[in-house]
Structure 1
Amino acid sequence: MDGPEPAREQPLPEGLPPGELRRVARVVLLDPDDRILLLHGFEPDDPAQTWWFTPGGGVEGDETREQAALRELAEETGLTDVRLGPVLWRRICSFPFDGRRWNQDEWYYLARTRHTAVSLGADLTELETRSVMGLRWWTSAELSAARETVYPTRLAELLRTLLDDGPPSAPVVLSPEIVQGYG
């Protein structure tokens, strides 16, 4: 996506726990076979609590969300020759992780790559090193059949719609996800 990001922000949902709203850029990275790349994360203090999620993370300093998405993708996967497409989805989420509450305004960018040999990047943060155990490519069918936790929770449905219909003309605002605790 070229140019400055839109200035409009989502209104905050009722029930959002107190705390700063972190600006986050995530990447829906697809390979030539339309598989999506997901990272496998876990709660550092309870490795039995696991989930899958898209690459991405918080905006730093004065970088744009697009710059943050590309930086995070490079840090987490080592991929640097990815061109971002449009923002597909946006969501507000709140969840406990690593002893604190995270309130996030997440934007999901479409991207494609020809490189399917990926591994966890060498530039992971200390927290990522303690909470990410791997990554893998998922087909739409595998994602739909998954019994594991995946974020956003509707990712299988969203991916199927993306593959069937193409990117939306404007970002789809997803329902907020507010996780009170684990288990």
Structure 2
Amino acid sequence: MRQRPSSRLLVIDPDKRLLLFKFVHLAGALVGQQFWATPGGGLDPGESYEAAACREMFEETGLRIDHLGPQIAQRSLTFTMVDGEEVSSDERCFLVRVARAGISSMHWTELERAAIAEHRWWAQAELAASADQIYPEDLTDMLRRAEIW
């Protein structure tokens, strides 16, 4: 099984809302699945977790950051990619505070354009009350432990 190190971004706006993307899979191995997830993705060869987080932040939100907030979590998991490949991931979750809640999809890949149905800024109470599938599953606990919420 291929190892897939990745960086996830916990993007918080001035109102302490968290950015999540809604993925709706209409084709491929995940067809029929939909869930909310944080921005982020796999590392490029030779790339550090921090550099990948900065790159993913720009690609998925259009916002450039030179300095990340702290890494607030690390987790290991196995999951299935859109193409059906099962991977083992070492994920690092970084806190990013932004000055505004806007994003741009200008730099999204074809795969992201096909799968991301919407984005939303979630308040703590909304996230805690949601019946939707949200990844990572312990996201609210992760933010509480880091004293974000």
Report whether the alignment pairs 1:32 with 2:32.
no
1:26-74: CA deviation from partner (whole Å, max 9, x where unpaired): 1111111111111111234265411111111111122211111011111
Alignment of 1:1-183 (within 5 A): 19-45=1-27, 48-81=32-65, 83-98=67-82, 99-119=84-104, 121-163=105-147
The AA in structure 1 aligned to 2:8 is R
Query: Are residues 52 and 82 of structure 1, via their aligned partners in 2, closer, same or farther at CA, if it must alter by over 3 Å?
Result: farther
TM-score by length of 2: 0.88
Aligned residues with identical type, % of pairs: 36
Gaps of 5+ in 1: 1-18, 166-183
- Greater Rg over alpha carbons, structure: 1
Number of equivalent positions: 146
1:110-161: CA deviation from partner (whole Å, max 9, x where unpaired): 1100121224x21112221221112110011111001000011111222233
DSSP-derived class of the 1:124 partner: coil
Gaps of 5+ in 2: none
Cα contact 1:82–1:113 (8 A) shared by 2:
no
DSSP-derived class of the 2:89 partner: strand
- Kindly report the root-mean-square deviation, in angstroms, between the aligned alpha carbons of the 2 structures: 1.8
TM-score by length of 1: 0.73
Cα contact 2:39–2:57 (8 A) shared by 1:
yes
> How far apart are the structure 1 equivalents of 2:71 and 2:146?
12
